Structure 1
Amino acid sequence: MTNIGKVIWLFSAFCHFSRCSITSQDCTWASELTFQDVKDAIDKLKQLDILNDRIANLDEQVTTLQKHVPSIIFHAKVSDGLNPAGQGRIVYDTIIVNKGSAYNHLTGIFTAPVAGIYYFTYSLLGMTDSGNTEVRLMKNNDDLSYIHSILTPNQAQTASTPAILTLNRHDQIWVNLIQGRTWSGRGALNFQGVLLEAQ
């Protein structure tokens, strides 16, 4: 029985008792109820039912979102001493965080498991004798951004850059070394990403 049904039932019972020859003063409060009192009670119960329905709907939506929106976060670096050089994809072989397992430490490729907006950063530190060093952030073989370092001998300069990207499911992101020699000591070469908003 709904709350409204309970109120109507109680009101009917009160009306019945008020017509009976019950003289107990314990029941006098029932006969004092007015139609407006019962109507107000019914209106309040209707409002409570509406609020309860809204709360149940919100709980269901939150549960659905928690089930379908994965947490994607990764942070990887090139191990000390590997020092990528020449041309080719940089493989950040040491995983620090890889929640969601979207980054592959064997290939250096991040594959988007869901469509959404992602945030990435990557860094560069060229060797002191490298001179001209460049890395590029790639998306499905397209250049997105780059870090370019031109140094004279015995100079060193570290740099990093962010990128906010809208990706489709299965889009791939990686970092290419275009030229020069890098230094990976003390975690100087990093690649990071996080899902900001699923779509």
Structure 2
Amino acid sequence: MWLRDTEATWKMNFTILWFVLLFCGLILAQDEGTAIETQSCFPDMCNLLKEFGAMREKLGAMETRLKDSETRLKDSETRLKDSENQILELKNKEFGAMREKLGAMETRLKDSETRLKDSETRLKDSETRLKDSETRLKDSETRLNDSENKIVELSNKERTKVIFSASAGGSGRIGPFNTDTTLIYRAMKTNIGNAYNQFTGIFTAPVAGVYYFTIFYHAGGEHEVKLLLYKNNEVVVMTRDHQSDSDTADNGGNAVFLQLQQGDQVYVQMHAKSHVWGFNHLTTFSGFLVTQM
């Protein structure tokens, strides 16, 4: 831009000088009668012509330099365009490569997200199956514990043996007494489980279950016989015989199944004014555990 302004200025100055010289030539043409040599021109005009020549030379040099500058400028512009084109091409190439890389990365990212979702789904399924397995395992453990408890219970039932048998003992008649009296069978025959107490005459159930009891007696006819089998404070069964002058000996008995709870008591009471015969082989009280409940 600066070079173009300078060129316009020089062209304007050159035009002005051209008109000045033309004017001077017209004045010299009017003075043909005067002998003037080329070297005898007016001093101011000569100086002006010299300056004009110098300026023309400078102008030529300036024009040459201006052309060179314009040529160099065009070359620079061409090189600049080439550089810009190269930069744009590189940018396009880099952008294309980056876009391809970005596309590849997006594809890999989508694949990773898909695989992650699949993994999360499989993990949830595994967690659900694990919870189900844990629930089933707990149920199995509960059932196993129940089965083991039942097995232990059955084993305990099988191991629990309760069997006893005892006779009244003594050397003759027992009774009669003025009040009801618990008959104590002192002569033990069998006492597996130690549920019968030969000192109190009371059987105490060690476990809940069904038991079988029997009572038998031998007595004379001169007095009444009346034996009552009690469960706790309740009469369950009894056996008896009336007084008889003609009947010198009597035998009798009874039996019963009883469902007892642990700690229930069973015993035999002899009614007031009744009697039995003792000895080791006559009057007996027996029982055993049929099944545990």
Q: TM-score normalised to the size of structure 1?
A: 0.65
Q: Work out which of the residue numbers 137, 161, 168 in structure 2 matches 1:78.
A: 168
Question: What residue in structure 2 maps to residue 144 of structure 1?
Answer: 236
Residue 184, structure 1, aligned to residue 278, structure 2: yes
Q: Give the superposition deviation at 1:155.
A: 1.9
Q: Which runs of 5+ in 2 are unaligned?
A: 1-146
Percent identity between the aligned chains? 27
Contact 1:84–1:90 (CA under 8 A) maintained in structure 2: no
Contact 1:80 1:187 in 2 (8 A): no
- Once the 2 structures are TM-superposed, how far is the Cα of residue 165 of structure 1 from its aligned partner? 0.5
Counterparts of 1:140 and 1:102, CA distance in 2: 15
Question: Shift of residue 60 of structure 1?
Answer: 8.9
The structure with more radius of gyration = 2
Higher strand proportion (structure 1 or 2): 1
SS of residue paired to 1:79: strand
Where 2:221 maps in the other structure, the secondary structure is coil
Distance in structure 2 (CA, Å) of the matches to 1:169 and 1:120: 16
Q: Select the structure that is richer in helix.
A: 2
For 2:52, the equivalent position in structure 1 comes to: none
Length-normalised TM-score, structure 2: 0.45
- Residue 59 of structure 1: CA displacement? 9.7
Distance in 1 of aligned mates of 2:150 and 2:185: 38
1:195 matches 2:289:
yes
CA separation of 1:108/1:72 partners in 2, compared to 1, >3 Å: closer, same or farther? same
C-alpha RMSD over aligned residues: 2.2
**Deviation at 1:127?**
2.5
Alignment of 1:18-33 (within 5 A): none
Q: Is the 8 Å Cα contact of residues 157 and 292 (structure 2) preserved in structure 1?
A: no
Could you tell me whether the CA contact under 8 Å between 2:167 and 2:280 is conserved in 1? no
The 5 A counterparts of 1:33-112 are: 64-69=153-158, 70-81=160-171, 83-85=173-175, 86=177, 87-112=180-205
Structure 1 residue runs without a partner (length 5+): 1-57
Match of 2:36 in 1: none
